[in-house]
Amino acid sequence: MTTVTVWNEYRHEREDDEAREVYPDGIHETIAGFLADEGFDTRTATLDEPEHGLTESVLDDTDVLTWWGHEAHDEVEDEVVERVHERVLSGMGLLVLHSGHFSKIFKRLMGTTCDLKWRDEGEKERLWLVEPGHPIAEGVEESIEVPEAEMYGERFDVPAPDTLVFNSWFEGGEVFRSGCCYRRGAGRVFYFRPGHETYPIYHQPEIQKVLANAVSWASPVGGTVPSTGHVPEPPERD
Amino acid sequence: MTTVTVWNEYRHEREDDEAREVYPDGIHETIAGFLADEGFDTRTATLDEPEHGLTESVLDDTDVLTWWGHEAHDEVEDEVVERVHERVLSGMGLLVLHSGHFSKIFKRLMGTTCDLKWRDEGEKERLWLVEPGHPIAEGVEESIEVPEAEMYGERFDVPAPDTLVFNSWFEGGEVFRSGCCYRRGAGRVFYFRPGHETYPIYHQPEIQKVLANAVSWASPVGGTVPSTGHVPEPPERD
Amino acid sequence: MTTVTVWNEYRHEREDDEAREVYPDGIHETIAGFLADEGFDTRTATLDEPEHGLTESVLDDTDVLTWWGHEAHDEVEDEVVERVHERVLSGMGLLVLHSGHFSKIFKRLMGTTCDLKWRDEGEKERLWLVEPGHPIAEGVEESIEVPEAEMYGERFDVPAPDTLVFNSWFEGGEVFRSGCCYRRGAGRVFYFRPGHETYPIYHQPEIQKVLANAVSWASPVGGTVPSTGHVPEPPERD
Amino acid sequence: MTTVTVWNEYRHEREDDEAREVYPDGIHETIAGFLADEGFDTRTATLDEPEHGLTESVLDDTDVLTWWGHEAHDEVEDEVVERVHERVLSGMGLLVLHSGHFSKIFKRLMGTTCDLKWRDEGEKERLWLVEPGHPIAEGVEESIEVPEAEMYGERFDVPAPDTLVFNSWFEGGEVFRSGCCYRRGAGRVFYFRPGHETYPIYHQPEIQKVLANAVSWASPVGGTVPSTGHVPEPPERD
């Protein structure tokens, strides 16, 4: 059974009425809830817990980690970022959500600024599926409409994704590569753009379906992690 | 000096008043004209010439071929398609323009249907640059607005491009990967979406700039074409 | 349950003593056998059956097709190639094995010559895993040794794979991208180099493991195949 | 005229007799010398200069930076690494050479460990060209033999290269993706494996040719760096 740790900054929902109304128990509880309904073994972790809730023992028992953060990226301790980074390279899946594009862990894995254009005016977004047949697209229609969203626009400063699954249109005139797959080390990373503290996007069934699919896709495969370092004997002298 | 052969179906401009008004001497003359102004050695070739104007001797003297076709893709002889295909794999550059997505040569090179959604209502298109620093983006702003265009929408059934340079937004709600780079054999292929027989898109300086850049990018490099076939002696027995 | 149709040219094993000794019932029976042991629902089809055993009704019931051919590629009818091609673009998985690199269907999908260097002297091959964590690498060691193989050497004239999983070393001095993943349409294609009619490569458990993994990876996902063609109404007029 | 800054750790050549014999004035002088002969405007910079010779003003005047380091990666100050990182994302080319795979700047850009297998026994390496027609392959034969080299073997823990240009074979049984192209931000990065302080690899004309080509390829294009941040007015309200 795939174990998922749903991480959330969990500040907006405690500080802002608007966010609390949409996600009364925090974005993490909403996400953990629908993933549990899909049959995953879920737990949550938040910024203000000791070690941000991401202790070695929690990560030992995590197949896939999801990450939502926004206003407090800088408060995430570098030590925890390095810990998560090592886990991803060793095979743990990572789903980076919406404003998580600016998280330390995503920037660490991408090696770029991960910057973009933005405008928060409740514009319509439509995600178009560009890679049908991809596991993350299982059971998903050819487009998903998000009635009100914060706009993120290109140019998104990330390495070209290994696979681009969704491409977003925004009412105001912008586009965005909104579903991006990466392999890093033995791990898989999926960046998924939709989601915001004041819009009920994580309550949309289509968005939930994509995230559940992405958890399955990012789950570790039981493969060898190749050795590195000095190899004194050439295999051909065997 | 880079030699460019600008190929055009050249039917709309002789048959339709609307097209003739925008491109009185044919789309090919417009394209050849601005490419010559950029310093390329250009010639034209059209469907109704013998061998569609693409004889072996013409191709011998072609570094980059540009392709515009629409209503008469089926009239292009398979023998000429194979001839062009071989040239591309041997290093000749190919720029496939707009409705050329459905040309025999593009489908031959892609191995897919190259199908897409479309609607011809004069909608606004905005091309966003997603790969700054790419040679095709030299001197190009971060977005290009096309006031009136035929819409092409995802899902565009092509292999994922080796490099995606432009990503288009359309007024009516669609997006499209509108500037796609491919390597095939020793040759380079660039698909560029804008352009239509009844809109003055090839008269726009920004579009002309992209096409001139693309010609430079697709020009053959003077490299070795690796040998294939039987190698009786292993290099290690030398 | 995933259904697999194992296709084989089945000529060498009937004509050559050496091949018959290694694969007495044909390569297809060996492959179908170990895939059945892995829990797949397998059947076989061969060149000399009517429609090469690949009727519409067989393909209706095929999730993944595996393809082994060598000396009779030209005898495969174009109509059947087109039929298989359409199925792949619609989501059927395709595993192209060893000398299948020169099959009509693989060349049709790749759009290139698929040519390479070769030498059949029973050299040692070692496949190195370059993408740990990939589903095709599940349970596979960091390298696989094939004691005697026909050498295939670069440059392999294919589009750069979407994902390169294995990279081969050969005793005589060559290298080869030997495990190549492609998405085409809604379907997935895996080219896997090892395998030859006179070496017992398909009897090696590590090779069998890779092929079983590849079947799982290439199985169709129950997703939408996006629509194409004319879209009279922009979604934004909804 | 393209300006190149050739950076070198410059310790081995001052400390080890063997290295001094091969590169009496340092690896940097050898590289800067042949690049100057190819028509580039070159300068050098080394670890023990103030700010490692990589001041803002030096970088202001650098189109492409080449990086060779080995035993003192940790002595490179983080501030200089960040400075170089920003420059690359803004368009400066970067060539990372041999043991530079473990440099701070390469790891920063890749987001992975960049670890590999190694063995220093003077084995033969043969680099096979896998992307003919690539600018870095201009004028290069289909393979390059390095008579004596330190072996680097897969799995090389880097993101899959945007383009793989060379693939290496080693006498002892390993392979390695030895010429890897990446786009990061508006900049281009080329990792090139050959080169070592005690083998005369940088004196080989074929290796020099590849490096000269790579400088040309990585030179900045005079394009727009897209804006990021808040966009209060949607373009469609224009």
Containing C208, the helix (H) or strand (E) segment is helix C205-218
Chain B, residues 171-190, CB within 8 A of chain A, namely 173-175, 177
Name which of A131, A138, A118, A134 is nearest A208 in CA terms.
A138
Residues 6+ apart with CB under 8 A from A204: A144, A146
Q: Are strands A117-129 and A143-153 parallel, antiparallel or unpaired?
A: antiparallel
Q: DSSP code of D220?
A: P
What's the CA angle centered on D168, arms D123 and A160, to 5 degrees?
Answer: 145
Containing C210, the helix (H) or strand (E) segment is helix C205-218
Chain A closest-CA separation from residue C12 CA (Å): 32
| Burial (CB count within 10 angstroms: exposed 0-12, middle 13-18, buried 19+), residue D232 | exposed
Contact D186 B139 (CB under 8 A): no
What is the tens place of the pLDDT at every residue in C67-108? Answer: 999 999 999 999 999 999 999 999 999 999 999 999 999 999
Residues 6+ apart with CB under 8 A from C86: none
D194 in Cβ contact with D149 (< 8 Å): yes
| Burial (CB count within 10 angstroms: exposed 0-12, middle 13-18, buried 19+), residue A1 | exposed
Chain D closest-CA separation from residue A17 CA (Å): 24
Residue with tokens 């940790």: D74
Contact A155 D228 (CB under 8 A): yes
Instruction: Report the Cα–Cα distance between both ends of chain D, in Å, rounded.
Output: 40
Contact D130 C174 (CB under 8 A): no
Contact B170 A169 (CB under 8 A): yes
Q: State residue C47 phi and psi, 5-degree precision.
A: -55, -45
Contact A174 B173 (CB under 8 A): no
This prediction's pTM: 0.98
Q: Facing residues of D118 across strands?
A: A230, D152
Q: Is B157 on the interface with C (CB under 8 A)?
A: yes
Nearest to A111 among D111, D153, D226 (CB): D111
The per-residue pLDDT for C225 is 82
Contact B142 D226 (CB under 8 A): yes
CB contacts < 8 A, A to C, total: 90
Q: DSSP code of C186?
A: T
Chain A closest-CA separation from residue D12 CA (Å): 20
- Residues of chain A with pLDDT below 50 are none
Contact A231 D119 (CB under 8 A): yes
Rounded to whole angstroms, the Cα distance separating B11 from B26 reads: 8
Contact A185 C132 (CB under 8 A): yes
Q: Is D141 on the interface with B (CB under 8 A)?
A: yes
Contact C169 D175 (CB under 8 A): yes
Residue in chain D nearest B169 by alpha carbon: D236
Task: Please say if the pLDDT value at position D238 is more than 70.
Answer: no
C35 in Cβ contact with C189 (< 8 Å): no
The per-residue pLDDT for A8 is 98
Chain B, residues 56-115, CB within 8 A of chain D, namely 91
Contact A183 D232 (CB under 8 A): no
Tell me, letter by letter, the H, E, C secondary structure of chain B. CCEEEEEECCCHHHHCHHHHHHCCCCHHHHHHHHHHHCCCEEEEEECCCHHHHCCHHHHHCCCEEEEECCCCHHHCCHHHHHHHHHHHHCCCEEEEEHHHHHCHHHHHHHCCCCCCEEEEEEEEEEEEECCCCCHHHCCCCCEEEEEEEEEEECCCCCCCCCEEEEEEEECCCCEEEEEEEEEECCEEEEEECCCECCEHHHHCHHHHHHHHHHHHHHCCCCECCCCCEECCCCHHHC
For chain C, which chains pass the contact test of at least 3 CB pairs under 8 Å?
A, B, D
Residue in chain D nearest A237 by alpha carbon: D172
The per-residue pLDDT for C223 is 76
Task: Please say if the pLDDT value at position D237 is more than 80.
Answer: no
> How much is the average pLDDT of C53-67?
98
Q: Facing residues of D189 across strands?
A: D94, D182
Q: DSSP code of A137?
A: G
Q: Are strands C117-129 and C143-153 parallel, antiparallel or unpaired?
A: antiparallel
Contact D133 B222 (CB under 8 A): no
Q: Residues of chain C with pLDDT > 70: what percent?
A: 99
Rounded to whole angstroms, the Cα distance separating A202 from D100 reads: 44
Q: What is the domain partition of chain B in residue ranges?
A: 3-114+177-218
Chain C residues close to B237, C-beta within 8 Å: 172
With the CA atoms of D166, D167, D170 and D174 taken in that order, what torsion angle do they form, in degrees rounded to the nearest 10? 150
Find which of A152, A169, A193 to mutate to test the B interface (most B CBs within 10 Å of its CB): A169
CA-atom Rg of chain B in angstroms? 18
Residue in chain D nearest A115 by alpha carbon: D228
The per-residue pLDDT for B224 is 81
Q: Facing residues of A64 across strands?
A: A4, A93
Rounded to whole angstroms, the Cα distance separating D123 from D147 reads: 7
For chain B, which chains pass the contact test of at least 3 CB pairs under 8 Å?
A, C, D
The per-residue pLDDT for C222 is 82
Chain B closest-CA separation from residue A152 CA (Å): 13
Chain D closest-CA separation from residue A222 CA (Å): 17
Residue in chain D nearest A109 by alpha carbon: D111
Chain C closest-CA separation from residue A87 CA (Å): 12
Contact C131 A183 (CB under 8 A): yes
A64 in Cβ contact with A95 (< 8 Å): yes
Contact B167 A169 (CB under 8 A): no
Q: What is the pLDDT along chain B (238 residues), one digit of tens a residue?
A: 999 999 999 999 999 999 999 999 999 999 999 999 999 999 999 999 999 999 999 999 999 999 999 999 999 999 999 999 999 999 999 999 999 999 999 999 999 999 999 999 999 999 999 999 999 999 999 999 999 999 999 999 999 999 999 999 999 999 999 999 999 999 999 999 999 999 999 999 999 999 999 999 999 998 788 899 999 999 876 5
Rounded to whole angstroms, the Cα distance separating B155 from C89 reads: 13
Which letter, b or e, does each residue of B160-176 get, where b requires 16 or more Cβ atoms within 10 Å of its Cβ?
bbbbbbbbbbbbbbbbb
Distances (CA, A) of A97 to A23, A27, A59, A189, A202: 15, 11, 19, 11, 11
| Burial (CB count within 10 angstroms: exposed 0-12, middle 13-18, buried 19+), residue C225 | middle
Residues listed for chain B: 238
Rounded to whole angstroms, the Cα distance separating D86 from D74 reads: 19
Containing A218, the helix (H) or strand (E) segment is helix A205-218
Residue in chain C nearest A182 by alpha carbon: C163
Which letter, b or e, does each residue of D129-148 get, where b requires 16 or more Cβ atoms within 10 Å of its Cβ?
bbbbbbbbbbebebbbbbee
The per-residue pLDDT for B73 is 98
Question: Token digits for D28?
Answer: 């940097």
Q: Which CATH class is domain A3-114+177-218?
A: alpha beta
B87 in Cβ contact with B62 (< 8 Å): yes
Chain A closest-CA separation from residue C16 CA (Å): 32
Mean pLDDT of chain C: 97
Instruction: Report the Cα–Cα distance between both ends of chain A, in Å, rounded.
Output: 40
Contact C175 D128 (CB under 8 A): yes
What is the tens place of the pLDDT at every residue in A151-169? Answer: 999 999 999 999 999 999 9
Nearest to D89 among A89, A112, A184 (CB): A112
Question: Token digits for D226?
Answer: 């897209």
Q: DSSP code of A101?
A: G
Contact A228 D109 (CB under 8 A): no
What is the tens place of the pLDDT at every residue in C110-144? Answer: 999 999 999 999 999 999 999 999 999 999 999 99
Chain D residues close to C155, C-beta within 8 Å: 128-130, 132, 142
Contact A153 D182 (CB under 8 A): no
Q: State residue B17 phi and psi, 5-degree precision.
A: -60, -40
Distances (CA, A) of B59 to B86, B88, C109, C113, D83: 11, 10, 25, 19, 48
Contact D173 C126 (CB under 8 A): yes
Chain D closest-CA separation from residue A34 CA (Å): 31
Rounded to whole angstroms, the Cα distance separating C114 from D145 reads: 25
Nearest to A173 among D155, D159, D236 (CB): D236
Name which of A121, A112, A23 is nearest A68 in CA terms.
A23
Chain D residues close to A115, C-beta within 8 Å: 228-229
Give residue D194's region: left, alpha or beta (phi > 0; psi -120 to 50).
beta
CA-atom Rg of chain D in angstroms? 18
Residue in chain C nearest D175 by alpha carbon: C169
Contact B230 C118 (CB under 8 A): yes
For chain D, which chains pass the contact test of at least 3 CB pairs under 8 Å?
A, B, C
A207 in Cβ contact with A193 (< 8 Å): no
Q: Is B205 on the interface with C (CB under 8 A)?
A: no
Task: Please say if the pLDDT value at position C238 is more than 80.
Answer: no
Name which of D109, A21, A155, D133 is nearest C160 in CA terms.
D133
